[in-house]
Structure formats: C-alpha cells, structure tokens
A and B are shown apart, each in its own frame.
Chain A
Amino acid sequence: MSININLVLYLTSTYPSVQKFKEIVEKCDSIVDLFEIGVPTLNPKYDGPTVRMTYREAELLGVKALEVICDLNIKRNFIIMTYLEDYLHDFEHFVNFVKSLGARSILLPDLLFDFYHYVDSYVKLCERYGMEPTFFISSKFPYKIVRKLLTYSPYFIYLGLQASSGIKLPLIVERNVKIMRELIGDSCRLYVGFAIRDVEEIKILRELGVHGVVIGSSFIKLLKDYGLIRALNFLKELKRSLSDNYECSN
C-alpha cells in the first residue's frame, strides 16, 4: 500500500526579515505540502540552537510576527506553532486570531508536558473556531496517553524524533517510530521531525509508514549559510525522495 507522505517545512515567522520570510514562503509554496510557522518567542522551551537563533534574529516578536501572514497568499495548508505558556492568559483570543489568518491548526509543544490538564480546553477551543487539534509527543511518551489523543481526532500527531529540534543524538529512531506507529495504527496521521537532515533518513522513515516529515533546522542552516537557492534545492530533493517512483529514477 502506498502512503502519501507530506513534506512539512518549519519556518519562524519574520526570520530573517519580514520581506525575506515572505519571499521564502512564496518560493516554497509549490514544493512543500504544509507549512509549520513558528511564533518568535523569548522563551523557547524545547527548540534547539538553530530555531532559537531564528527567534532572536526574527524581525518581529509574538503576535506581531504573525500579522504578516495576512499579506501572504499561501496556497498550502499551514499550522501555527507556539508555546501555550506564552498565550495561556488569553488563549481563546489567540485561537480566534490564528483562525482569522487561515491556519488549519495550532501546535503547542508544551501542551502535553506542562499543561496536561488543559488538553480538553484546547480541543474544545479548536473545535469552536473550526480548527483541528494537533499534538506534539516525545519518543518516551505514555502509551495510554497516545491512545487517548486519538479520541480527539487530531489533524496529526507530531513525534519529535530527538530530544530537541536540530540536535542529533544516537537514538534508535526506527525502533521508536515503529512503536508509536503501532500504537497509533491507521486511525491518525503520524508526522515526524527533529534533526532530519537527508534523503537517506527520509527513505527509512517512509519505510516505517510515517505520513509526514518536518524539515526545520537543516533548511534554516542552509538558508543562513548558503542562501535561498541552495535551501530550495535541498527541499526539492527531499520532495522527490517522498514520491513513489523515487527509487526508480535514482
């Protein structure tokens, strides 16, 4: 059975500048299947050094940085990634705002770890504003809770393959993905991310039956060190590797 695997690109809003961010989104819109747009924060909890750098160097911070999305005509789906801690004081207002931008979901990496009691409220707010919930989990995640998340019919579950974004540790990723894939079954899409750097890794993840791969730090590093063209070529190569006939043509 062939599974349609989505390529997801993580970008920090207004990094490296408002104009450049808009240009990157426009250029990538025809390559990727989904954008995950991060909100620059002063309190990056689980992000690795590359994403933290983008928060520091982004032109705008917080909600201001998201307002620029209004000017964009993004053809692909996109979700917003931010930490619940930053918006807990008026989360409903934030959800309403994100919905007005056209986002399909809000991903809150700290929801299940620091605000587990808030899950039901989060799901209800998503439903109220016509969005789907998404959940971020780590590799050592309680099995019972993974099963419980499925009852919320999420857009997808995002498994962080590493302890932090962009940091590669010597983990047996295949084993961890396999366990989570078995727990989730066919009732929900499993997206994976953190420190995915090349086509070979994507091939393995494809074999394991994931539904989406998220690219972030590796794209940002290429963008910063070599410019947009090199980063776009990298993205195109990854996209090709996700197509069914990639093995034949290579």
Chain B
Amino acid sequence: MIIMNVPTRWYNIAVDLPIPLPPPRDPNDNFSRIDLLNKILPSTLIDQEFTAERYITIPEVIRELYRKIGRPTPLLRAEGLERKLGVKVKIYYKFEGALPSGSHKLNTALPQVYYAKIDHANEVVTETSAGQWGLAVSIAAALLNLKATIFMTRASYISKSHRRILMQVLGATVYPSPSDMTMFGKKLLNQDPQHPGSLGIAISEAIEYVLQDSNNRKYLPGSVMEFALIHQTVIGQEVIEQLPEEPDIAIACVGGGSNFGGFTYPMIGMKLRDEGFKKTRFIAVESLAAPKLTRGKYMYDHPDTAGTLPMIKMYTLGRNYVPPPIHAAGLRYHGAAPSLSILVRLGIIEARAYSQEEVLMAGRLFAKCEGIIPAPESAHAIKAVIDEAKRAKPGTVIIFNLSGHGLLDIDAYSKVLDDK
C-alpha cells in the first residue's frame, strides 16, 4: 500500500498563464466594490487572490485537517465502466466524494473558515445551491468552532432538504434564498413569492448579511474567486502523484470553476511550463441550463446578481441570468472563474454542455458499473467521459474528477426512474 502525504502547498496558475489575468474592476461610480472586499472577506484570502507566488504554503493546521477528513482521496480505475462500454481505453477517476462532506468543497472550506477565525470573526456566512458548499462550510465551521449561516437557493432548500438538515445538524443556520433577512431578498420576494433563487442571488444576500455586522462576520465564496481554485489544487497535485501514466484526456464539470481548476490546474501548469502533460486534452463540462463557457460572452461582469462585488473578466451569461431549476444545482451559475475563462478562450481547455436527462442517464450507468452513485454535477463529467471513450483510439487514457457522491440527490435519480 502506498501511503501518500498531504500536499504541502497550493498552486497558483495565474503566474503561468500565457496571457495575464485582467484585474478586477469597479463600475464608474463613487463607490469602490474592490475596497468593500476589506469588509467582507478574511484578509488572507484577499492576499491569496492577488499573490505573486506560484506556490502557497499550506498552514500545518490545515494539512492536519486535510488528513483528518481523509486526504489524500483515492484515485480509482473504472474497470466496470470500461467493460460496459466495451472500449479498450483506461478510465481513472479521483474520488472526492470520499470526503465527509461528500464533495471536494471541503478542500477550500477548511482554509477559508480558518482564515476567518484568524481575523477574529465569530460567524462565517455563505451561499449554497445544491448544498455541497454549504455543508462543507458547516463541517469546517463545526471543526473550527465558528457559527455558520447559509443562504441556500430556494429551489434547493425545498428539493435538497437532506443536505439542509445535515447543515442544521452541524449547527448551521440555513435560510432559503431569496429570504427576508436582507433588503435584496425582500425585494425579489415581493416581485415573486415563489422565486426559485439562484447562486448569484444567494451570494448577494450572504454579502449583504455580512455587511450588517462586518466586524464579526466574514463571507466565504465557494468558487469563482481564484483563491478557492488555488485551495482545490490539492486534488490535482495528488492526482499527479497517484497517476500511473499521463492521461490523454482530463475531464471535470464546471459550476464556477473550483472543481475543474483544482483538478486540472496542476497538470495544465506543468503543460504550460513544458514539464509534462503535453498530449493531454482538458475538457470542462457544464450544464445546458447555465452554458456560460459555450454560449456566454467573455466580458467584465459582477459575480453576484446585486452587483455588490467587483466586476471580473469572465465568460458570463449576465449576472441577472436565472438558470432553470435543475438537479445539478451546483452548476447553476452565470459565470466562470477568470483563469478558467482565459484558458477556454485560448483553446487550452475545451468546453461542452449537456442536458440534465443525458447526464443523469450517464450517472446511473456509472453507478451500476462502479457501485458509486455520482452527484448530478459530477455526472456531467461522466457523460463526457463516456462520449470520449466511445470514440477514442484503443489505449487512450482518460481521467476525470468524481467531485461528489449523489447519495443525497435522491430527487434527481427518482426522476430518472420516473422517466424510464
């Protein structure tokens, strides 16, 4: 048995990109949203967002917590799926669903809560859609003894009650978003009492709630911000250690980009530095319900719906875009992280979008072959893996990130059974 160590550092791809990351921008008015970051984010996270370092040392306390939650996660071979497809390709997957939160989100929740605590916050606040990020923050807050408040998109608050209950079990307070806890939420509820919410709206509410008491509360973003992607690079660094051979194709799903970035950036970084992965193609898979990479515009836009945060240059469907309620709620987001957007724009990452139906069928097939029920988000990657495997030459090596399990996504899979 190989006993691997937890990575000692996170990787920052910004310093290896072929072109520079455009800086954040303020709209042309009297108020600086960039300055507002001082009030809402833990200070170390702001520093990491703008760091010139290629590698950031992981605090020992976080490495200990990574060990405690079960890092390194396993890299497995999907032999059952290979046999079922009848293809002579090798399919590997990194299983982030093995973490206690059931998804990769804990990799950044732990350092984010830790840095909030260093800043003497007593409450962390965030948004969640599928509940994976909210659950991860709830676990991290419980482990580090801070109060957690979660704004959960109303559609998921109703359909994903299991994760909501688990967050509450861990001590978190969970509000359906839009909520009456904020002015922005009240305004939307007045317009539509049945508003399904969106990740962009929940972000806006979480920020407004933090600003009500910014001395004690800190906002923690689950994705899009570069530091969230940086923390997730523990996944890709472990993959490089675990992989027996360089893949021809690496695949992961995209909501805001933290899963995809964390999984692929250490490999892409090596490719950009001519240190390996020369032949590897990287494929980002998104939902047709929020197809920013395949149908969005590359432009400056706010990451939140209310426009409280600074604008960042990214592929976006527009901050007011409200994706239809889908089971892969973690992918219901209008934009993608700036570094991911640049890499897609340069053609270093390919992007594609799938519909909910075909994705859930792929997820079910994987479950029957491998015994792991994938999260609907992760099933997007599986769908792409199957498509690639079917047309690949014999000997092709495919790797994907199984970012979460789907044991709490009963609603999604019951729909598959109903439709059959």
List residues of A whose CB falls within 8 A of some B CB. Answer: 42-46, 48-49, 52-53, 112-114, 116, 137-145, 160, 162-164, 167-172, 175-176, 179-180
Contacts and interface: CB of A to CB of B under 8 A. Distances in A.
From B28, B37, B46, B310, residue with most partner A Cβ within 10 Å: B28
How would you classify the secondary structure of chain B's contact residues: helix, strand, loop or mixed?
A: loop
Contact of A137 (B18, B20, B30, B31): B20
Given A45-B25, A138-B23, A141-B15, 4 more contacts: A167-B34, A169-B46, A171-B50, A179-B53
Contacts of A113: 20-23
A107 B3 CA distance: 53
B15 A176 contact: no
Interface of B: 12, 14-26, 28, 30-32, 34-35, 37-38, 43-44, 46-47, 50-54, 226, 310
A142 B26 contact: no
A172 B48 CA distance: 9
Given A46-B23, A113-B22, A167-B34, A140 B28 contact: no
B252 to A, nearest CB: 23
Given A167-B35, A171-B46, A139 B51 contact: yes
A44 B14 CA distance: 24
Contacts, number: 107
A169 B50 contact: yes
A46 B50 contact: no
Contacts of B226: 140
B245 to A, nearest CB: 28
A48 B32 CA distance: 7
A45 B312 CA distance: 11
B22 A140 contact: no
Given A53-B30, A140-B12, A163 B50 contact: yes
Contact of B52 (A43, A167, A176): A176
Nearest to A53: B30
A175 B30 CA distance: 31
B17 A142 contact: yes
A120 to B, nearest CB: 14
B323 to A, nearest CB: 28
B14 A114 contact: no
B26 A140 contact: no
B14 A140 contact: yes
Nearest to B26: A164
Contact of A142 (B15, B22, B25, B310): B15
A52 B28 contact: yes
A140 B46 contact: no
Contacts of A172: 47, 51
